[in-house]
Structure 1
């Protein structure tokens, strides 16, 4: 028996079975793509934090050189006192002498940055919680490193050398690097 011909006014479309197959394929592809998308967003947030921290550290070094004063940057959760977690914000201020860092700067604060709470963490590699730049732009003592982490995975690092130079980079290792751990030599 011959198939009936479709006329210009007749509708053509998908059957219910074809529609269910398309919806199932879309659901599976979304299910597979979401974890990668979330990781990509977390990595973008970590990169943005790394760039902001490098910018404020470079600004602190430049301020120390131009004002011929000691300048310090410390982590701050409340925008008034120095704290422990760089991911929540920071303070930039001029220090009158080369004494140990203050927990509550009594001098005018030049910059206050407050950040919303997030899954990002920043770990400092030594006991000094703040970065101090001398009037000649040098950082005193040892190299200092900040590790930026998403969950328990290190995504990037910032290194301030003794001469005060900044270096920031993404951490590319074959296996996830635990937060705050040093990169293996290759």
Structure 2
């Protein structure tokens, strides 16, 4: 009776395929991680813009407007310019919390480009406008090319735009987050 050749893989073939797969995974993993961080960055910028827009709208119906500020605990304003710790929106009259956003992914940075530690939306009758536009920079740590800026204009409207080179460098180097 003739001997039929076996239908399977040798150990050498299996080991070689596994080695090739491991190499390909090692090459793809950093780019996948960067893509995930960029996605989280865009989601954080959208969340911040949503909070700012909702707070501006809420200020129309509150006698003392609203305030958005960084918050490490989701209850009180931190008094810092680091927005990566999360943020809250508060009623300017009752101090009730209107919205809470948790801390950003540890690979992300979000900080005010100036010294102001909050964004205030006064009731339209108050006419106490902020002194100038306020800019918040968001980026993946160490990657200035990922920087987005959220600009809050004096009239309260907010939008995202590309960052100036000096803002991008500062954002990518920012490491002040307290955990």
Q: Give TM-score, length-normalised by structure 1.
A: 0.74
| Inter-partner Cα distance in structure 1 for 2:42 and 2:65 | 28
| Contact kept? 1:79, 1:112, Cα under 8 Å | yes
Number of the residue aligned with 1:94: 91
Q: Displacement of 1:170 after TM fit?
A: 5.9
Residue range with higher mean Cα deviation, 149-158 or 44-53: 149-158
Deviations along 1:60-117, one digit per CA (max 9) or x if unpaired, are 1001123353211110102232112212221211224xxxxxxxxx733333333366
RMSD: 2.8
Residues matched between the structures, number: 163
Q: Which has the higher helix share?
A: 2
The 1:94/1:30 distance shift into structure 2, 3 A limit, reads same
Q: TM-score, structure 2 length as denominator?
A: 0.77
Q: Which consecutive unaligned segments of at least 5 residues does structure 1 have?
A: 97-105, 182-186
Deviation of 1:11 (Å): 4.0
Q: Indicate if the aligned counterparts of 2:149 and 2:160 stay in contact, CA closer than 8 A.
A: yes
Q: Distance in 2 between matches of 1:70 and 1:63?
A: 7
Of 60, 71, 79 in structure 2, the residue corresponding to residue 76 of structure 1 is 71
**31, 40, 48: which is aligned to 1:45?**
40
Distance 1:152 1:59, change over 3 A: same
Gap regions ≥5 residues in structure 2 = 173-179
CA contact (8 A) 1:86 1:122 kept: yes
Map of 1:125 onto structure 2: 113
Q: State the match for 2:31 in structure 1.
A: 36
Q: What's 1:162 paired with?
A: 154
